[in-house]
Structure formats: C-alpha cells, structure tokens
C-alpha cells in the first residue's frame, strides 16, 4: 500500500505544480497615473494698489492629475477663486478650511484672512484663464493663466 500512496502523492504534487500558474491570482491593474500622489501647490491671495491678485499669476499644473492646492488669503476681503470647468463637482476631490464652493461651479469663495486646502482632478491639457475677485471690489478682478500640461 505504501507504494500506491507514494505514487498518488507524487501525482498530486506534479498536478499542483503544473496547475500553479493557472491558479495564481491576477495582479491588480496599475493604478491610474498619479492616483496616490498629489503635487503640492501654494496659491496666495494678496492685495496690491487696492486690488486683489493671486500669486503665482501663471499657475502651471499637470493635466488630468490629482493636485492639492493650499490656498492662503492674506486680505481682509472675501475672494472668489475661479477657473472655468476646473471646479465643477466632478473634478473636486476634497476641500476643507475656509473655502466654500460657489453656486456657478466655476469657483471657490475664500473667507477673509482664510486658509484652506483644495484637492482637485485637473482637466485636459491646455491654457485656461483663472482669477481672483474680491467680493467687495468686483470691478477690479485679477486675471491669471492656468496652464495644464501632460506629465511624462
């Protein structure tokens, strides 16, 4: 009987070795580009000559990527940060601090002397306008340039 058991054991072992790759669990697909990483970006709202402005004036971000923007409003005014299509609900991952989403979906209101973090999924590559406008001085809006480029 020992020879039958040892023959069966060898056959079972050979079968398991042969089937091993077929039974292996598939590796999960690679996460989307930049899924876990969020390049930090700082945006400061300042007042100069009676008008608000955003710094940097030219904001360069990776296109179609997750980005974290730390916003600091150093003025005594509530300011609306705008960028057409960028702040639509589908592109906003998270916001906290002194930021309030505006009804138009194109911007965020930043409280006076407010700070906050905005996590977004950037839109397609290209150049877009972005701006800061004081709620109390809407006749003097700041207009900057948002450049989204494909990352390598």
**Is 54 within the bounds of a domain?**
yes
Q: What is residue 30's predicted lDDT score, i.e. its pLDDT? A: 45
pLDDT value of residue 23: 46
Which residues, listed in sequence order, are joined to residue 58 by a DSSP beta bridge? 145
**pLDDT at residue 2 in the model:** 56
Does residue 52 belong to any structural domain of this protein?
Answer: yes
Asked if residue 77 is part of any domain, the answer here is yes
Facing residues of 97 across strands?
116
Q: Confirm whether 73 is domain-assigned.
A: yes
As a whole number of angstroms, the distance between CA 82 and CA 25 comes to: 46
Distances (CA, A) of 45 to 77, 122, 127, 144: 10, 21, 21, 12
Domain range for 85 is: 40-149
What confidence category does residue 40 fall into, taking pLDDT thresholds of 50, 70 and 90? confident
2: in domain: no
Evaluate whether residue 14 is within a structural domain: no
In a domain, 74, yes or no: yes
Count of domains observed in the chain:
1
Alpha carbons 119 and 126: distance in angstroms, whole number? 19
CATH assignment at residue 82: 2.60.40.420
pLDDT in tens, 85-123: 999 989 999 999 999 998 777 899 999 999 999 999 999
Q: Return the pLDDT at 139.
A: 85
User: Is the preceding omega at residue 56 within 30 degrees of 0, hence cis?
Assistant: yes
Q: What is the pTM of this model?
A: 0.72
Distances (CA, A) of 143 to 44, 65, 71: 14, 23, 17
On whether residue 79 sits in a domain, the answer given is: yes
Instruction: Round to whole Å and give the CA distance between 39 and 66.
Output: 8
List the one residue out of 34, 138, 28 whose CA is nearest residue 78: 138
**Residue listed under structure tokens 């002194």:** 98
Answer yes or no: is pLDDT of 29 > 60. no
Give the model confidence (pLDDT) of 73-86 as tens digits: 999 999 999 999 99
């Amino acid at each position: 009987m020992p020879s039958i058991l040892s023959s069966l054991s060898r056959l079972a072992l050979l079968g398991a070795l042969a089937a091993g790759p077929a039974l292996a669990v598939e590796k999960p697909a690679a996460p989307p580009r930049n899924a876990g990483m969020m390049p930090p970006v700082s945006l400061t709202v300042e007042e100069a000559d009676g008008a608000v402005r955003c710094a940097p004036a030219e904001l360069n971000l990776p296109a179609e990527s997750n980005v974290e923007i730390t916003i600091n409003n150093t003025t005594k005014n509530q300011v609306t940060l705008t960028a057409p299509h960028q702040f639509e609900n589908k592109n906003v991952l998270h916001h906290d601090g002194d930021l309030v989403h505006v009804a138009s979906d194109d911007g965020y209101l930043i409280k006076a002397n407010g700070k906050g973090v905005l996590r977004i999924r950037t839109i397609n590559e290209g150049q877009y306008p972005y701006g800061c406008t004081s709620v109390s001085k809407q006749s003097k809006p700041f207009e900057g340039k948002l450049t989204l480029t494909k990352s390598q």
